[in-house]
Structure 1
Amino acid sequence: MRQLIVILLIILSKSVIFAQDAKSDLHQGNKLYQQKKYTEAEAAYRKATTKKDRKVESNFNLGDALYKQKKFDSAGRNFSAIAASSTNPLVKSGAYHNLGNSLLTSKKYDESVEAYKKALLNNPKDDETRYNLAYAQEMVKKQQQQNKNNQNNKNNQNNQDKNKNKNSQDKNKQDKDKNDQNKNNQDKNDQDKSNQDKKNQQNQPQPNNVSKDDAQRMLDAMNDQEKGTQDKLKNKKLKGAKVPVIKDW
């Protein structure tokens, strides 16, 4: 029996020590948190969460320390776990509220709205959560409008690009048609010039286009003319002046 009493005393004393350790770690984490030493506070809170005593409070403060370090995803997971495991409506409401804040800061507006709604279901009198819910809903509307504007701008840009491509194609076609017309005009001018050259050649006398009779007559005429010229030269020689003879005796 004494042994059992001794064992019970040892167990009780260990529980008191663990409780004091958890309280000490939590107190140290709160002190560091107030000094804005959020990384050190996170380490103290994590140490406190390993003990059963004040585990919920330590987890809550751990989530706050993560949030202050802008570790929004990690903070959100922490608050989500608290909300899922707790049976206390006020604890669940606070966890969902902080989860909504983490999601809102990450611009996950639709998810933050759902988190705030769950917070209000567990604590309908929480005016701060109601205000955050209204703000998140307004951000959802703005995001939807922005997405709509972006889609309209994208569609307008696509239409402008299509019109630009169409105008470019039309211009290329016009340039091609113009080049084809110029080529046709040049070909026509070349053909007209060629036809005119042929016509001029036809109008010029063609020495080779002489009939056989004409050629014979021309040859006879040339022979008669040459004969007449020779006769004239011969007569001129006969009628020449006499040359005196000088005798040397």
Structure 2
Amino acid sequence: MNFKGLPFLFLVFTSALSWSQNEVANNLIVDGNEAHEQAEYIDAEAQYRKAVSLAPEKSEALHNLGNTNYRIEDYSAASQRFFQTQKNTTSKNEKHAAFHNLGNVYMQQKDYAQAVAAFKNGLRNNPTDEETRYNYALAKELLEKEQQQDQQDEQNQDNQDQDQDKEDQDKEGDQEKKDEKGDQEDPKDEGEDKDKKEGEDGESEDDSKEKPEEDKPKNPEKEGEGDEKKQPPPQPKPGQISPEQVKSLLEAMNNQEKGVQEKVNAQKVKGTPVKTKKDW
């Protein structure tokens, strides 16, 4: 990123400090500037910090400490130093330098909106500085591109969400059609299931009919009959006639009656005369 460099503040003696404090603080700032030019930023930072501790309101020490923080890429500390510098000073040149460097910090952090605001404030305090104007134009261009990209990303996200919503709606519609089709086919399926169940029940009944006799539960009455057949004939009690005796008596009576009838018939035959001649 090609933006213009950091303004550097040099010593300005003020009457607010005592002569001894002012001399010590100024000497520390000089030592810090020499170390900074030699890229000895750690040493430079130490010298500036000592100067700030002796004279917190001395803008040169605070501003140059911010420059050292910037060089070692401690952008958070640098932005604090530059902001405090422009707040403490009443000099337009010092305000301009502080806002310019603050804009450079925001550029490094890619915070282009803040950078545009910082460079604009720098130009308000020094409208003729071309480096500040250049950095302002660059920050504004980068901000516009960023906003366009954000809008494009948002549009792409909206399109993606719409596509996803449409896809979800299509899936829901397909599912509803499948459900409706399934509901229409249900009565037939229920009938088939019922016929199938009745068929299975019929087969079960046939199977039960075809079971061998030993698988069927036995009839207690028939079992009783079988048991009676297997039992020996009952013995007659004393004074009673057995069925066999009754049968024998009946047969004897029939035979006797038959014999009597034969005798009667024989007598009839004998008493009838036999004709030897024809009757004339």
TM bucket by the smaller chain? Answer: 0.5 to 0.7
Q: Secondary structure at the match of 1:50?
A: helix
Correspondences of 1:206-217 after superposition (within 5 Å)? none
Structure-2 separation of matches of 1:91 and 1:166: 63
Correspondences of 1:2-151 after superposition (within 5 Å)? 17-52=20-55, 55-151=58-154
Distance apart, 1:49 and its partner CA: 1.6
Structure-2 separation of matches of 1:40 and 1:159: 59
Correspondences of 1:226-241 after superposition (within 5 Å)? none
Structure 1 stretches (4+) deviating beyond 6 angstroms?
191-194
Give 5+ residue unaligned stretches, structure 2. 1-16, 198-280
Structure-2 separation of matches of 1:190 and 1:95: 88
Q: Secondary structure at the match of 2:104?
A: helix
Specify whether residues 190 and 49 from structure 1 end up closer, same or farther in structure 2 by C-alpha distance, changes over 3 A only.
closer
Distance apart, 1:162 and its partner CA: 1.0
For 1:184, which of 183, 187, 202 is the aligned residue? 187
Q: Is the 8 A contact 1:23 1:54 kept in 2?
A: no
Q: Which residue of 1 aligns with 2:169?
A: 166
Distance apart, 1:189 and its partner CA: 4.8
Structure with higher Rg: it is 2
Q: Secondary structure at the match of 2:54?
A: coil
Structure-2 separation of matches of 1:149 and 1:184: 54
Distance apart, 1:147 and its partner CA: 1.7
Specify whether residues 38 and 160 from structure 1 end up closer, same or farther in structure 2 by C-alpha distance, changes over 3 A only.
farther
Structure-1 separation of matches of 2:142 and 2:44: 32
Distance apart, 1:70 and its partner CA: 2.7
Q: Which residue of 2 aligns with 1:9?
A: none
Structure-1 separation of matches of 2:18 and 2:86: 27
Paired residue type of 2:103: G
Give 5+ residue unaligned stretches, structure 1. 1-13, 195-249
Cα RMSD (Å) of the superposition?
Answer: 3.0
Specify whether residues 130 and 185 from structure 1 end up closer, same or farther in structure 2 by C-alpha distance, changes over 3 A only.
same
Distance apart, 1:134 and its partner CA: 0.3
Q: Which residue of 2 aligns with 1:8?
A: none
Paired residue type of 1:32: A
Specify whether residues 193 and 87 from structure 1 end up closer, same or farther in structure 2 by C-alpha distance, changes over 3 A only.
closer
Paired residue type of 2:90: T
TM-score, structure 1 length as denominator? Answer: 0.63
